[in-house]
């Protein structure tokens, strides 16, 4: 399994009090999607998880996984910076 790094990190909110985490690679995004995702896990969450899995196995680019994660985070209202 590969763990491609992103050219630009993603920062997401982890709690309502203002905590945040910066994600710099596919493994960090996958872990966040599986273990720390707040609220509903809808279609964009599933698409991001699949894109991260595909990027880890070399079937998709890290950039496509990053875009899918950003879309899911935006939908969930947790995206701070992309």
CA 18 to chain centre: 18
Per-residue pLDDT of the chain (82 residues; tens, 9 = 90+): 678 789 999 999 998 888 999 999 999 999 999 999 998 899 999 999 999 999 999 999 999 999 999 999 999 999 998 7
Give residue 48's pLDDT: 98
Residues in contact with 72: Cβ distance below 8 Å, sequence separation at least 6, in sequence order: 33, 44, 45, 47, 48
Entry pTM: 0.93
Burial 24-41 (b: 16+ CB within 10 A, else e): ebbbbbbebbeeebeeee
């Amino acid at each position: 399994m590969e763990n491609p790094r992103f050219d630009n990190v993603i920062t997401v909110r982890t709690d309502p009090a203002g905590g945040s985490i910066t994600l710099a690679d596919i493994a960090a995004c996958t872990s966040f999607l599986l273990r720390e995702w707040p609220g509903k896990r809808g279609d964009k969450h599933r698409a991001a998880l699949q894109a991260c899995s595909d990027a880890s196995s070399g079937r998709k680019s890290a950039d496509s996984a990053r875009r899918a994660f950003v879309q899911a985070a935006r939908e969930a209202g947790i995206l701070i910076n992309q």
